[in-house]
Copies of this chain bind each other. A is one copy, B any other.
């Protein structure tokens, strides 16, 4: 393997290992030694590639968001269908939801992560797509609707303890019913 490939492979292994650890434990709870061991790489390489534990976390969040943008296409004409696809993606990738929650708690709305302009741009295009699907002009109102749709899709995955409390263990496990309820709610709200 050429040095360039070796470097890229080390970086990729660290990002993947870090993603697992940060999703599970958050920034403060994650252990750098654990990340390095899981990646099969020396701990010093974390500092060589990323500079610090927190910057590694930043890189993980940015990378993860790129992946969801790739995986779930634009809202399009059927906003409820979009929410359903998003809901499914979050259900299948709870680590992404958890990373966003850790990010929210760790930074609040204060810090713009590296590449945040790209993130803003991508999300802006989602709002444009939603506006088109609703037969409206892009506007702050449509942006807020976009935000609420994402919340509807993410909430059940984000707060499992509330599912348990309100729905009971069986109800919490009935994801199809939850999905149907979310879509019904969204369809009713948008019509």
Contact = CB atoms under 8 A, between A and B. Distances in A.
How many interface residues does chain A have, given as a range?
A: 35 or more
B104 A104 contact: no
A101 interface: yes
B143 A167 contact: yes
Given A28-B26, A29-B27, A177-B144, A161 B105 contact: no
A134 interface: no
A127 interface: yes
A156 to B, nearest CB: 7
A124 B162 CA distance: 11
A109 interface: yes
Contact of A145 (B25, B159, B185): B185
A72 interface: no
A163 interface: yes
A120 B164 CA distance: 9
B144 A178 contact: yes
Given A28-B29, A102-B105, A171-B140, A147 B163 contact: yes
Contacts of A185: 145, 148, 189
A178 B146 CA distance: 12
Given A167-B143, A185-B189, A159 B151 contact: yes
Given A105-B101, A141-B181, A147 B162 contact: yes
Contacts of A191: 188
Given A29-B29, A188-B188, A188-B191, 18 more contacts: A26-B105, A27-B29, A101-B104, A104-B158, A104-B160, A108-B161, A110-B160, A123-B165, A127-B166, A140-B174, A144-B171, A144-B177, A145-B181, A148-B152, A148-B155, A151-B152, A151-B155, A185-B189
